[in-house]
Structure 1
Protein backbone atom coordinates (compact mmCIF):
# COMPACT_ATOMS: atom_id res chain seq x y z
CA UNK A 1 0.00 0.00 0.00
CA UNK A 2 1.31 3.43 -0.91
CA UNK A 3 0.24 5.48 2.12
CA UNK A 4 1.81 8.69 0.79
CA UNK A 5 -0.22 8.50 -2.43
CA UNK A 6 -3.34 7.67 -0.44
CA UNK A 7 -2.77 10.63 1.88
CA UNK A 8 -2.41 12.93 -1.13
CA UNK A 9 -5.70 11.60 -2.57
CA UNK A 10 -7.44 12.07 0.79
CA UNK A 11 -6.29 15.69 0.94
CA UNK A 12 -6.46 16.66 -2.75
CA UNK A 13 -8.27 13.92 -4.69
CA UNK A 14 -6.68 11.88 -7.47
CA UNK A 15 -4.45 13.61 -9.97
CA UNK A 16 -6.28 14.67 -13.16
CA UNK A 17 -6.43 11.69 -15.50
CA UNK A 18 -5.16 9.26 -12.84
CA UNK A 19 -6.33 5.70 -13.25
CA UNK A 20 -6.34 3.20 -10.41
CA UNK A 21 -4.10 0.18 -10.84
CA UNK A 22 -6.61 -1.83 -8.82
CA UNK A 23 -10.40 -2.06 -8.78
CA UNK A 24 -12.46 0.90 -7.59
CA UNK A 25 -15.39 0.20 -5.29
CA UNK A 26 -17.95 2.94 -4.68
CA UNK A 27 -19.65 3.34 -1.31
CA UNK A 28 -22.71 5.58 -1.27
CA UNK A 29 -24.35 7.11 1.77
CA UNK A 30 -27.00 9.55 2.89
CA UNK A 31 -26.58 12.28 5.50
CA UNK A 32 -28.11 15.54 6.64
CA UNK A 33 -24.88 17.21 5.54
CA UNK A 34 -22.89 14.90 3.24
CA UNK A 35 -20.22 17.57 2.70
CA UNK A 36 -19.41 17.50 6.44
CA UNK A 37 -19.32 13.67 6.40
CA UNK A 38 -16.69 13.72 3.66
CA UNK A 39 -14.73 16.49 5.41
CA UNK A 40 -14.68 14.67 8.76
CA UNK A 41 -13.82 11.32 7.14
CA UNK A 42 -10.96 12.99 5.25
CA UNK A 43 -9.71 14.68 8.41
CA UNK A 44 -9.74 11.46 10.48
CA UNK A 45 -8.18 9.36 7.73
CA UNK A 46 -5.48 11.95 6.93
CA UNK A 47 -4.59 12.02 10.62
CA UNK A 48 -3.98 8.25 10.85
CA UNK A 49 -2.21 8.10 7.49
CA UNK A 50 0.19 10.80 8.68
CA UNK A 51 0.98 9.12 12.01
CA UNK A 52 4.70 9.84 11.96
CA UNK A 53 7.62 7.50 12.53
CA UNK A 54 6.32 6.12 15.84
CA UNK A 55 2.74 4.86 16.11
CA UNK A 56 1.02 6.98 18.80
CA UNK A 57 -0.63 5.44 21.83
CA UNK A 58 -4.39 5.60 22.31
CA UNK A 59 -4.26 8.75 24.46
CA UNK A 60 -2.24 10.52 21.77
CA UNK A 61 -4.72 9.41 19.10
CA UNK A 62 -7.59 10.81 21.17
CA UNK A 63 -5.80 14.17 21.15
CA UNK A 64 -4.91 14.07 17.45
CA UNK A 65 -8.13 12.82 15.87
CA UNK A 66 -11.17 15.06 15.36
CA UNK A 67 -13.17 15.26 18.58
CA UNK A 68 -16.44 14.45 16.78
CA UNK A 69 -14.95 11.25 15.36
CA UNK A 70 -13.54 10.13 18.71
CA UNK A 71 -16.86 10.91 20.46
CA UNK A 72 -18.71 8.62 18.03
CA UNK A 73 -16.53 5.65 19.01
CA UNK A 74 -17.64 3.17 21.65
CA UNK A 75 -15.99 3.33 25.08
CA UNK A 76 -12.87 1.18 25.34
CA UNK A 77 -13.32 -2.13 27.11
CA UNK A 78 -10.65 -4.07 28.90
CA UNK A 79 -8.79 -6.81 27.03
CA UNK A 80 -10.43 -9.64 29.02
CA UNK A 81 -13.94 -8.52 27.99
CA UNK A 82 -12.86 -8.35 24.34
CA UNK A 83 -11.39 -11.86 24.49
CA UNK A 84 -14.58 -13.21 26.09
CA UNK A 85 -16.70 -11.68 23.34
CA UNK A 86 -14.42 -13.08 20.64
CA UNK A 87 -14.49 -16.55 22.22
CA UNK A 88 -18.31 -16.46 22.44
CA UNK A 89 -18.81 -15.38 18.84
CA UNK A 90 -15.86 -17.20 17.31
CA UNK A 91 -15.64 -14.39 14.74
CA UNK A 92 -12.26 -12.79 14.33
CA UNK A 93 -10.70 -10.82 11.54
CA UNK A 94 -7.11 -11.21 10.36
CA UNK A 95 -4.74 -10.66 13.26
CA UNK A 96 -7.35 -11.83 15.78
CA UNK A 97 -9.24 -8.53 15.77
CA UNK A 98 -12.91 -9.04 16.72
CA UNK A 99 -15.33 -8.41 13.85
CA UNK A 100 -17.81 -5.69 14.73
CA UNK A 101 -21.55 -6.12 14.18
CA UNK A 102 -22.58 -3.87 11.29
CA UNK A 103 -24.55 -1.40 13.42
CA UNK A 104 -22.32 -1.41 16.49
CA UNK A 105 -20.01 1.48 17.28
CA UNK A 106 -16.35 0.58 17.11
CA UNK A 107 -13.87 1.21 19.86
CA UNK A 108 -11.24 3.69 18.71
CA UNK A 109 -8.49 1.14 19.38
CA UNK A 110 -10.26 -1.42 17.18
CA UNK A 111 -10.54 1.04 14.30
CA UNK A 112 -6.94 2.19 14.66
CA UNK A 113 -5.75 -1.43 14.55
CA UNK A 114 -6.63 -1.52 10.83
CA UNK A 115 -4.13 1.29 10.17
CA UNK A 116 -1.36 0.32 12.59
CA UNK A 117 1.72 -0.87 10.68
CA UNK A 118 2.25 -3.43 13.48
CA UNK A 119 -1.44 -4.49 13.32
CA UNK A 120 -3.54 -5.03 10.20
CA UNK A 121 -2.31 -1.85 8.50
CA UNK A 122 -0.88 -3.77 5.56
CA UNK A 123 -4.02 -5.90 5.14
CA UNK A 124 -6.67 -3.19 5.47
CA UNK A 125 -7.94 -4.14 2.01
CA UNK A 126 -8.80 -0.67 0.73
CA UNK A 127 -7.30 2.74 0.05
CA UNK A 128 -9.12 6.04 -0.37
CA UNK A 129 -9.36 7.13 -3.99
CA UNK A 130 -11.93 9.95 -4.23
CA UNK A 131 -15.16 11.31 -2.76
CA UNK A 132 -18.01 13.53 -3.83
CA UNK A 133 -21.58 14.64 -3.38
CA UNK A 134 -24.64 13.00 -4.90
CA UNK A 135 -27.36 15.59 -4.46
CA UNK A 136 -28.22 17.53 -1.30
CA UNK A 137 -28.42 14.47 0.97
CA UNK A 138 -26.07 11.94 -0.56
CA UNK A 139 -22.42 11.31 -1.08
CA UNK A 140 -19.99 8.70 -2.28
CA UNK A 141 -16.50 7.45 -1.54
CA UNK A 142 -14.45 5.50 -4.07
CA UNK A 143 -11.85 3.16 -2.64
CA UNK A 144 -9.15 1.25 -4.40
CA UNK A 145 -9.28 -2.48 -3.63
CA UNK A 146 -7.11 -5.38 -4.73
CA UNK A 147 -10.07 -7.76 -5.01
CA UNK A 148 -13.35 -8.95 -3.56
CA UNK A 149 -14.31 -9.61 -0.90
CA UNK A 150 -12.26 -7.20 1.18
CA UNK A 151 -12.56 -6.11 4.82
CA UNK A 152 -14.61 -2.91 4.55
CA UNK A 153 -15.63 -2.54 8.19
CA UNK A 154 -12.99 0.09 8.99
CA UNK A 155 -14.17 2.19 6.03
CA UNK A 156 -17.83 1.80 6.96
CA UNK A 157 -17.08 2.81 10.56
CA UNK A 158 -15.11 5.83 9.32
CA UNK A 159 -18.20 6.91 7.37
CA UNK A 160 -20.74 6.17 10.13
CA UNK A 161 -18.63 7.92 12.78
CA UNK A 162 -18.45 10.87 10.39
CA UNK A 163 -22.26 11.07 10.18
CA UNK A 164 -23.16 8.85 7.21
CA UNK A 165 -26.30 6.70 7.12
CA UNK A 166 -27.58 4.07 4.68
CA UNK A 167 -24.09 3.09 3.56
CA UNK A 168 -24.11 0.87 0.50
CA UNK A 169 -20.97 -0.59 -1.03
Structure 2
Protein backbone atom coordinates (compact mmCIF):
# COMPACT_ATOMS: atom_id res chain seq x y z
CA UNK A 1 0.00 0.00 0.00
CA UNK A 2 1.23 3.48 -0.79
CA UNK A 3 0.62 6.39 1.56
CA UNK A 4 -1.60 9.00 -0.12
CA UNK A 5 -0.34 12.51 -0.80
CA UNK A 6 -2.59 14.35 1.71
CA UNK A 7 -1.69 11.92 4.51
CA UNK A 8 2.00 12.35 3.75
CA UNK A 9 1.68 16.16 3.70
CA UNK A 10 0.01 16.12 7.14
CA UNK A 11 2.59 13.60 8.36
CA UNK A 12 5.44 15.97 7.50
CA UNK A 13 3.60 18.86 9.16
CA UNK A 14 3.10 16.69 12.24
CA UNK A 15 6.80 15.82 12.30
CA UNK A 16 7.65 19.51 12.23
CA UNK A 17 5.08 20.24 14.98
CA UNK A 18 6.45 17.43 17.15
CA UNK A 19 10.05 18.50 16.74
CA UNK A 20 9.29 22.16 17.48
CA UNK A 21 6.65 21.39 20.13
CA UNK A 22 4.28 23.90 18.53
CA UNK A 23 1.75 25.86 20.54
CA UNK A 24 -1.75 24.35 20.13
CA UNK A 25 -3.59 26.16 17.34
CA UNK A 26 -5.62 25.10 14.35
CA UNK A 27 -7.83 26.59 11.70
CA UNK A 28 -11.57 26.08 12.14
CA UNK A 29 -12.74 22.93 10.40
CA UNK A 30 -9.25 21.44 10.23
CA UNK A 31 -8.85 20.28 13.80
CA UNK A 32 -9.98 20.15 17.38
CA UNK A 33 -8.68 20.95 20.85
CA UNK A 34 -8.62 18.57 23.79
CA UNK A 35 -7.95 19.18 27.47
CA UNK A 36 -5.82 16.40 28.89
CA UNK A 37 -6.32 15.86 32.63
CA UNK A 38 -3.39 14.37 34.51
CA UNK A 39 -2.50 13.43 38.06
CA UNK A 40 0.02 16.21 38.87
CA UNK A 41 2.24 15.01 35.99
CA UNK A 42 1.08 16.91 32.90
CA UNK A 43 4.66 17.60 31.72
CA UNK A 44 5.54 13.90 31.84
CA UNK A 45 2.33 12.75 30.13
CA UNK A 46 2.68 15.29 27.33
CA UNK A 47 6.35 14.39 26.79
CA UNK A 48 5.68 10.65 26.69
CA UNK A 49 2.79 11.05 24.22
CA UNK A 50 4.95 13.30 22.05
CA UNK A 51 7.87 10.84 22.17
CA UNK A 52 5.59 7.97 21.16
CA UNK A 53 4.22 9.93 18.19
CA UNK A 54 7.73 10.86 17.03
CA UNK A 55 8.56 7.15 16.92
CA UNK A 56 5.34 6.30 15.08
CA UNK A 57 5.70 9.22 12.67
CA UNK A 58 9.14 8.10 11.49
CA UNK A 59 7.92 4.54 10.93
CA UNK A 60 5.78 5.78 8.04
CA UNK A 61 8.97 6.54 6.05
CA UNK A 62 9.54 2.83 5.42
CA UNK A 63 5.96 1.65 5.76
CA UNK A 64 5.11 -1.98 5.07
CA UNK A 65 1.95 -3.72 6.24
CA UNK A 66 3.88 -6.75 7.54
CA UNK A 67 6.17 -4.57 9.66
CA UNK A 68 3.24 -2.45 10.87
CA UNK A 69 1.32 -5.48 12.10
CA UNK A 70 4.35 -6.94 13.95
CA UNK A 71 3.54 -6.32 17.63
CA UNK A 72 6.98 -7.52 18.74
CA UNK A 73 8.56 -4.84 16.55
CA UNK A 74 6.47 -2.13 18.23
CA UNK A 75 7.24 -3.48 21.69
CA UNK A 76 10.94 -3.20 20.86
CA UNK A 77 10.80 0.49 19.89
CA UNK A 78 8.02 2.07 21.97
CA UNK A 79 8.64 3.22 25.57
CA UNK A 80 7.81 0.53 28.13
CA UNK A 81 5.84 3.03 30.21
CA UNK A 82 3.55 3.65 27.22
CA UNK A 83 3.14 -0.07 26.46
CA UNK A 84 2.28 -0.74 30.12
CA UNK A 85 -0.24 2.11 30.05
CA UNK A 86 -2.65 -0.07 28.10
CA UNK A 87 -2.97 -2.32 31.14
CA UNK A 88 -3.93 0.37 33.65
CA UNK A 89 -7.25 0.31 35.42
CA UNK A 90 -9.30 3.44 35.88
CA UNK A 91 -10.66 4.16 39.31
CA UNK A 92 -13.19 6.80 38.32
CA UNK A 93 -16.67 5.44 37.57
CA UNK A 94 -17.26 7.91 34.73
CA UNK A 95 -14.06 6.79 33.04
CA UNK A 96 -14.97 3.15 33.42
CA UNK A 97 -18.24 3.85 31.63
CA UNK A 98 -16.60 6.03 28.99
CA UNK A 99 -13.73 3.64 28.28
CA UNK A 100 -15.49 0.40 29.12
CA UNK A 101 -13.87 -1.50 26.28
CA UNK A 102 -10.20 -1.23 27.14
CA UNK A 103 -7.85 -0.91 24.26
CA UNK A 104 -4.74 -2.97 23.74
CA UNK A 105 -1.47 -1.91 22.17
CA UNK A 106 -2.27 -3.90 19.04
CA UNK A 107 -5.68 -2.15 18.73
CA UNK A 108 -3.92 1.19 18.94
CA UNK A 109 -1.18 0.29 16.43
CA UNK A 110 -3.81 -1.05 14.02
CA UNK A 111 -5.62 2.32 14.03
CA UNK A 112 -2.37 4.25 13.58
CA UNK A 113 -1.94 2.51 10.22
CA UNK A 114 -2.09 5.09 7.38
CA UNK A 115 -5.34 3.65 6.04
CA UNK A 116 -7.11 4.26 9.38
CA UNK A 117 -5.38 7.27 10.92
CA UNK A 118 -7.10 10.62 10.38
CA UNK A 119 -5.58 12.94 13.06
CA UNK A 120 -2.16 14.50 13.59
CA UNK A 121 -0.34 16.29 16.40
CA UNK A 122 -0.67 20.01 15.76
CA UNK A 123 0.51 21.39 19.11
CA UNK A 124 0.35 21.13 22.87
CA UNK A 125 1.10 23.22 25.92
CA UNK A 126 1.00 22.63 29.64
CA UNK A 127 -1.54 24.72 31.56
CA UNK A 128 -0.51 23.55 35.02
CA UNK A 129 0.62 20.35 36.75
CA UNK A 130 -2.80 18.73 36.19
CA UNK A 131 -3.77 19.85 32.68
CA UNK A 132 -2.45 20.46 29.21
CA UNK A 133 -4.10 21.47 25.95
CA UNK A 134 -3.64 19.41 22.80
CA UNK A 135 -4.60 20.46 19.28
CA UNK A 136 -5.03 18.00 16.48
CA UNK A 137 -5.17 18.48 12.74
CA UNK A 138 -7.61 16.16 10.99
CA UNK A 139 -8.02 14.69 7.54
CA UNK A 140 -11.76 14.23 8.01
CA UNK A 141 -14.26 15.98 10.22
CA UNK A 142 -15.83 14.37 12.16
CA UNK A 143 -13.04 11.95 12.93
CA UNK A 144 -12.65 8.93 15.18
CA UNK A 145 -10.68 9.97 18.24
CA UNK A 146 -10.24 6.63 20.05
CA UNK A 147 -6.58 6.21 19.08
CA UNK A 148 -5.90 9.83 20.06
CA UNK A 149 -7.56 9.33 23.45
CA UNK A 150 -5.62 6.14 24.12
CA UNK A 151 -2.33 7.79 23.16
CA UNK A 152 -2.84 10.08 26.16
CA UNK A 153 -4.44 7.52 28.50
CA UNK A 154 -1.63 5.02 27.91
CA UNK A 155 0.84 7.88 28.46
CA UNK A 156 -0.59 8.46 31.93
CA UNK A 157 -3.52 10.87 31.52
CA UNK A 158 -6.60 10.23 33.60
CA UNK A 159 -9.09 11.88 31.23
CA UNK A 160 -9.22 13.30 27.69
CA UNK A 161 -11.85 16.03 27.33
CA UNK A 162 -13.07 17.07 23.89
CA UNK A 163 -13.57 20.84 23.48
CA UNK A 164 -17.16 20.11 22.41
CA UNK A 165 -17.86 18.59 25.83
CA UNK A 166 -16.89 21.74 27.74
TM over 0.5: yes
- With normalisation by structure 1, the TM-score equals 0.71
CA positional deviation for 1:102: 2.2
Q: Distance in 1 between matches of 2:17 and 2:112?
A: 16
| Alpha-carbon offset, residue 122 of structure 1 | 3.4
- If the length of structure 2 is used for normalisation, what is the TM-score? 0.73
- 8 Å CA contact retained: 1:24, 1:143: yes
Equivalent residue, structure 2, for 1:60: 73
Q: Is the 8 A contact 1:72 1:105 kept in 2?
A: no
Matched, 1:50 2:47: no
Q: How far did 1:147 drift?
A: 4.5
Structure 1 gaps of 5+ residues are 75-100
What is the 5 A alignment of 1:1-169?
1=7, 2-14=10-22, 20=27, 23-31=30-38, 32-51=40-59, 52-55=61-64, 56=67, 57-74=70-87, 102-116=99-113, 121-169=114-162
Stretches of structure 2 lacking an aligned partner (at least 5 in a row)? 1-6, 88-97
| Superposition RMSD in Å | 2.3
Q: Secondary structure at the match of 1:50?
A: helix
Aligned residues: 137
For the Cα contact (< 8 Å) 1:26–1:142, is it kept in 2? yes
Report runs of 4+ in structure 1 exceeding 4 Å deviation: 18-22
Greater fraction of residues in helix: 2
Q: How many Å apart are 1:20 and its aligned residue? A: 4.7
**Change beyond 3 A, Cα 1:22–1:123:** farther
